[in-house]
Amino acid sequence: MDEILKQALNIIDKNKFISVKDLTKELGVARGTTDRYLQKLEESRLIKRVQGGAVSLHRDFEFCPHYYFSENDKYFEERVLIAKSAVEMINNRDSIFLGGGLNTLHVARELRQQRKNVNVITNSLHVALLLAETCHVDIVGTMPTNNEGILIGQVDKDIKVNKVFIAPCTVTDDGFYNMTLLIVELESFFIKNAQCVIILADSDVYSASSPYKMCSYSDVDTIITTKNAPSFIKQENAKICYL
């Protein structure tokens, strides 16, 4: 590995995510040279290219939040059951979208353990890192919103998925909500264009409050949730899977 290639890898590892523009500036090379370096690093499975940038896949880089697999999580058992039920709905060669959130991280972990042959589209860098070695992963979005590693930005209109898995922050009697408008805008694209939309709803989402509506019950095909879910979700046509 030549020195500039090593420098590029070190910069990506340090930043976790960096745009091609910023990487080109830091390396002091032409844009085409940066693209060639990124291609070599991706072929070596050291980074993952995304729209407009690159994500580190360094094995010493603890990118997933430690609490997602912690049994200290009040809803840990619910998330595990929800994830297992969700993965039962995924077939080999499916093309799926996994949004951000702890429930989708558990789905990613279960997919990794079962080693299903699935094409995964995600705007979660944590999901991408978990599945980098077992699935074909494409990352959408161009910049992180916060330290949770969720990306926002435009989506290529030609991207197609047949199943979408969304973990909303809040579920009410009139639909599903999230905390960040730009995340809602990105994930809504997949909700509107997928053949099947699956909501992952643990007990926490029924007591939370979020300002931005993601979709309505009429947009959803299946809700995977707990037995103690409120009765209002029975009022719509979505299939309910109680765990």
pLDDT in tens, 211-223: 999 999 999 999 9
Q: How confident is the model at residue 148 (pLDDT cuts 50, 70, 90)?
A: low
Q: Does the structure show a pLDDT above 70 at 71?
A: no
| Of the ranges 8-17, 49-58, 190-199, the best mean pLDDT one | 190-199
Summarised one tens digit per residue, pLDDT across range 228-241 is: 899 888 777 788 98
Helix, strand, coil distribution of the chain in percent, nearest 5? 40, 25, 35
Structure tokens at 233: 């979700």
Q: What is the pLDDT of residue 69?
A: 60
E-strand stretches of the chain? 17-19, 47-50, 53-56, 95-98, 119-122, 136-139, 143-144, 151-152, 163-166, 170-172, 175-178, 196-200, 212-215, 222-225, 239-242
- Give the Cα separation of 201 and 216 in Å (integer): 14
* Torsion over CA: 77, 83, 89, 92 (sign): negative
- Give the Cα separation of 162 and 175 in Å (integer): 21
- Give the Cα separation of 116 and 109 in Å (integer): 11
pTM for the whole structure:
0.79
SS3 assignment, position 92: coil
10-14, 82-86, 207-211: segment of lowest average pLDDT: 10-14
- Give the Cα separation of 38 and 135 in Å (integer): 20
How wide is the angle at C-alpha 44 spanned by C-alphas 20 and 131, nearest 5°?
Answer: 85
- Give the Cα separation of 146 and 136 in Å (integer): 25
Q: What is the pLDDT of residue 146?
A: 61
42: amino acid identity, one letter: E
**H-only helix segments in 89-156:** 102-114, 125-131
- Give the Cα separation of 169 and 87 in Å (integer): 20
62-71, 129-138, 161-170, 222-231: segment of lowest average pLDDT: 62-71
Domains of the chain plus CATH, in order, are 3-56 (1.10.10.10), 66-242 (3.40.50.1360)
